[in-house]
Structure 1
Amino acid sequence: MHEFSWDKEAEDTLSKILNIWPAIIRKSWKEKISNSARLIAYDEKSPKITGDILYRGAVNALPKSYEPLLLRIKSPEEFARKKESQEKLSEKEWLIEIKRWDRPDGENGPKIIKKPSEQNVLAIMTSPRIGGNTDILMEKFLDGVRSKGAKVEKFNLQKMNISGCLGCMKCTEVDLPEICVLKDGMSEVYRKFIEADSVVLGFPVYTGRECALTAAFFDRMHPLRAPIHFPKISTLKRGALIGTWGWPSNDSYNHIIEFQVMLLKLFNVITSEIITACGFWGEYYKKGIIERDQKGLEETFRAGASFVTPL
């Protein structure tokens, strides 16, 4: 690729961004950001890489969850203002936003054959905050499901005795009735998962990734991927995801949501509905505050109703 000169602002900006990480991984990110900036400069026919081009290159190269850190580098004042806005509630600048993701035209997920009244929907809530905003959002979605007559069974994993995966791999060797050698709450989850027509997963983003119970759930789901058990889930299921996070940007953690979509696909669950909500930070972290977004909750209800309705 054509070599570009760099102005001082670009070099200073890159240095500030690289200081986000420990030195041992800076080289990798330097290459990604620099290559992204070169592509922008080439596309815009710029003779050099400027500070603005470098910054946009970083935005393109980094996961969207780096938005707060990049904003603090680009505009400390704007970062401070945005952070301060979350320390007190304001009707003029309401930060919580519920978003129903766009669905592709045509068939979206496995075709619904059964009537809603004949469908079994399994809901898995992995948030440790029972009655919290993630839980409320899922319940509104499930209200929509129930409104069509579908049967719903919901597991709050926080209330259940579920151990972490031991990595013993016995699940690949022996066809145990309980699926896993650990005889705990997951035994019932396995059974209901196998029987379900659809699966709804709800979780919050903590520390830049899915919460611990979500990770534990997928670890413990591994037995169903074993050849001796996988035929039990050979029929495709429809899936829905409910996710929440703190930073007030409605796409900051889309990559985390998308990764859970791919994990569900490992178990033949094809996600057809995604509902996310952002802005739960500071004063906006209070339990139940999501209920003030009635418009978003109404759309969530409609999503739940359509989730079990044949096209």
Structure 2
Amino acid sequence: MKVIAINGSPRKGGNTETMLKKVLEPLEAAGWETELYQLGGKKIRGCMACMKCWENKDNKCVVDNDKFNEVYEKMVEADAIVIGSPTYFTDVTAEIKALIDRSGFVALANDRQFAGKIGGAVVAVRRGGATHVFDTINHLFQINGMIIPGATYWNMGYGLNKGEVAEDAEGMANMLNLGQSIDWLGKAIKPHMDSFPKVGDQYGEG
């Protein structure tokens, strides 16, 4: 099974990356193919609302001069998608917002490609605003028919400077538990993925 963890923080080695790596630890130990994808700080533009993904239905975006199609292909191939972001003015980074808008739309346009996958949101925060970031990411998962596992708390860790989140014992324990929950859920649903309901669109047709 495959899991991709997408880091929306532009800060290499920062708290978001530290948390995502902790989530991946039990999955790698359980035999999952894991990848930590660095999106923060990379070129990815917002959705142009051109609707070409709905016309072409070719599993990609017509804008092909940034990182979107590369990361989208990895998301489609994965059984579980974990998206991590620091808290920027009580929301996700610009890179993650662009990813949410475009990947969500392309997936819906192409027979709900994310339906039945596992989705996990991870948030790094200095003090406040993490719950809204958490909700923003989960909204992508929910509208696309993904399955969101629980953990021991909301998936957030506290720290400002690099490495500080590692001192948040409760937050790091939650990341470990999230990875364990993804492993358990993945093994439980994998045999039934072919029968997952994917017909229909946002207008309720199908």
Q: TM-score, normalised by structure 1?
A: 0.53
Q: How far does the alpha carbon of each residue in 1:245-294 deviate from its partner, in whole angstroms, 9 at most, with x for none? A: 222x6xx542441232122222222221442123x3xxxx2111122234
Structure 2 counterpart SS, 1:230: coil
Residue identity matched to 1:289: E
Instruction: Measure, in 2, the Cα distance between the counterparts of 1:162 and 1:231.
Output: 22
Give the corresponding residue for 2:136. 259
Give the corresponding residue for 2:157. 277
Residues 303, 209 of structure 1: alpha-carbon distance in 2 compared, 3 angstrom cutoff = closer
Structure 2 counterpart SS, 1:270: coil
Contact 1:138 1:202 in 2 (8 A): yes
Bigger Rg, which one: 1
1:190, distance to aligned residue in structure 2 (A)? 1.9
Residues 295, 225 of structure 1: alpha-carbon distance in 2 compared, 3 angstrom cutoff = closer
Give the corresponding residue for 2:117. 237
Contact 1:123 1:200 in 2 (8 A): yes
Give the corresponding residue for 2:183. 308
Contact 1:146 1:305 in 2 (8 A): no
Give the corresponding residue for 2:108. 225
C-alpha RMSD of the superposition: 2.2
Structure 2 counterpart SS, 1:269: coil
Task: Give the aligned length.
Answer: 181
Structure 1 counterpart SS, 2:149: strand
Residue identity matched to 2:163: G
Structure 2 counterpart SS, 1:287: coil
Counterpart pick for 1:181 among 56, 62, 67: 62
Instruction: Measure, in 2, the Cα distance between the counterparts of 1:241 and 1:232.
Output: 19
Q: How far does the alpha carbon of each residue in 1:63-107 deviate from its partner, in whole angstroms, 9 at most, with x for none? A: xxxxxxxxxxxxxxxxxxxxxxxxxxxxxxxxxxxxxxxxxxxxx
Residue identity matched to 1:308: D
1:157, distance to aligned residue in structure 2 (A)? 0.7
1:138, distance to aligned residue in structure 2 (A)? 1.0
Instruction: Measure, in 1, the Cα distance between the counterparts of 2:113 and 2:141.
Output: 15
Q: Where in structure 1 do 4 or more consecutive aligned residues deviate above 6 Å? A: none
Counterpart pick for 1:291 among 140, 159, 166: 166
Contact 1:197 1:238 in 2 (8 A): yes
Instruction: Measure, in 1, the Cα distance between the counterparts of 2:7 and 2:145.
Output: 19
Q: TM-score, normalised by structure 2?
A: 0.77
Instruction: Measure, in 2, the Cα distance between the counterparts of 1:262 and 1:121.
Output: 19
Give the corresponding residue for 2:202. none
Instruction: Measure, in 2, the Cα distance between the counterparts of 1:209 and 1:158.
Output: 14
Identity %: 29
Structure 1 counterpart SS, 2:155: strand
Unaligned stretches of 5+ in structure 1? 1-118
